[in-house]
Amino acid sequence: MCLALPGKVEDVWEANGTRMATVNFGGVRKEVCLAFVPEVTVGDYTIIHAGFAITQLDEISALETLEIFKSIGLLDQEFAIVLDPQQGS
């Protein structure tokens, strides 16, 4: 499964003309592309799907969603798939 997950932008930079970011998903950090959300800056929350930020959202919604995913085991499952490609998606 490949969920769209909320995360907090910790760092923004440009790579080959594309805005990139380090996003924190409740302790797991990933590099993502910000091309679709040029308004997102450090400290903002965004929803990430397949390595791309697809929309911005407020902190309360992001934290609530992360907590729900965590409580039902989807967060661990999603990051296990991402971290271990042998599990597939």
One-letter identity of residue 75: L
DSSP state, residue 82: H
From residue 38, give the alpha-carbon distance in Å to each of 9, 15, 42, 45, 81.
13, 14, 12, 13, 28
pLDDT at 39 over 70: yes
pLDDT in tens, 41-54: 999 999 999 999 99
Beta bridge partners of 76: none
Name the least confident of 13-17, 40-44, 70-74: 70-74
* Domains parsed from the chain with CATH numbers: 5-87 (2.30.30.140)
DSSP state, residue 32: E
One-letter identity of residue 49: H
Mean pLDDT of the chain: 85
pLDDT in tens, 59-71: 999 989 888 888 8
pLDDT band at 82 (very low <50, low <70, confident <90, very high): very low
